[in-house]
Copies of this chain bind each other. A is one copy, B any other.
Amino acid sequence: MTDLETARRGMRPTMRHVADLAGVSLKTVSRVINGEQGVTAAVEVKVMTAARQLNYRHDVAASSLRRTGRTTASIGIVLEDVGNPFSSALNRAIENAASARGMLVFAGSSDEDPQRQQHLVNAFSGRHVDGMILVPAGTDHEYLVAEQRNGTPIVFVDRPTSSLDVDSVVSDNTAGAFAGVTHLVQAGHRRIGFLGDLESIVTAEQRYLGYVEALGVAGLNLDERLVRRGLRSSDAAAPALHDLLRETDPPTAIFTSQNLVTIGAIRALHACGLEGSIALVGFDEVTLADLLKPGITVVAQDPLQLGHVAAELLFARIDGDRSAFRQIVVPTTLITRGSGEIRPR
């Protein structure tokens, strides 16, 4: 069977096939494919022609197996959920940076499950990714130390940690929440409700802290009855808000600490016809928030910037940067659109 026939029958052509067709040694093909010096122009043409004819595709796995350093031109990222807007914006920003370097991205969703995250990290590790970017789930990151020791750099994004020496890129969560709640205080509110995400998520905790601090600075008491946490979806947020409004002394303003929670709160307010009388500030941007009546005032994060910076940090490490681990803080922006400027009756 000739090489051309082999190529047609479901067997991928290898350098061996190309070499035979071009009448040179396998090593010479390797040199041409890798663009190495010291190959006569005539030989190069012969090899290239043969490679094209057989539709040769370089085998990155075999190549990286043999190569010293063992790089695979791929990175792995663990997001909360590749399907949600914040995560997918991160994903896109990281992909942009990666593709500019000719690298490929494995992406997976942890759904906040530390076990799923560890499973993904192991899977990435087994495929020899050159680095990983994680939106860390849970708090026990001990197993990542082994990865780092193996020479795989890791960058945390969106959430910091104290339990691991690692680079991280985070939004200024506490300051952002502080600014959002203070904005409500300045509109005259004294009873401000808080709807938050799982307490196990560091950022959720930080945003809650910003809320508490803002109340403290304003001389307001923290009333536990106005706080509902552990909300994971917009469907969970709506009943929580209805619940808050049934309190004997209900809040006149609401601060929601996350995307989906904000959407649930908006739905609930609209359902009661209260969207014009109860103030609302949400953490994180929401699509079309500007077109609602009233527009939704938010503390916006910059996921594209977060992802971009995380990728740059990672690539610096991959390129051999050995400097001390850094935490980079990306600022948030308060965007006023109406809902946060409603005054108490």
Contacts and interface: CB of A to CB of B under 8 A. Distances in A.
Interface stretch (A125-133, A174-182, A202-210, A316-324): A125-133
Contacts of A59: 126, 128
Copies in the complex: 2
B57 A122 contact: yes
Contact of A288 (B82, B120, B286): B286
B107 A82 contact: yes
Contacts of A291: 266-267, 270, 292
Contacts of A128: 59-61
Interface stretch (A144-152, A220-228, A244-252): A144-152
A196 interface: no
Contacts of A74: 106, 127
Given A58-B126, A292-B292, A88 B95 contact: no
A58 B127 CA distance: 9
Contacts of A237: none
A108 B105 CA distance: 7
A328 interface: no
A126 B60 contact: yes
A61 B127 contact: yes
A44 interface: no
Contacts of A219: none
Contacts of A99: 108
A106 to B, nearest CB: 5
Interface string A276-298: 00000000001111111100000
A105 B107 contact: yes
A256 interface: no
A133 to B, nearest CB: 14
A35 interface: no
Contacts of A104: 106, 108, 120, 123-124, 127
A164 interface: no
A30 to B, nearest CB: 15
Nearest to A263: B288
A38 interface: no
Interface string A1-38: 00000011011100000000000000000000000000
A310 to B, nearest CB: 15
A88 B107 CA distance: 11
Contact of A61 (B11, B64, B149, B267): B64
A65 B61 contact: yes
Given A12-B150, A62-B65, 18 more contacts: A57-B126, A61-B65, A61-B128, A65-B65, A82-B82, A82-B92, A83-B89, A88-B91, A95-B107, A95-B109, A104-B106, A104-B123, A104-B124, A105-B107, A107-B107, A266-B291, A287-B287, A292-B292
- Ranked nearest first, the 7 interchain pairs of A and B with the lowest CB-CB distance are A83-B92, A88-B88, A60-B126, A61-B61, A287-B287, A288-B288, A55-B146
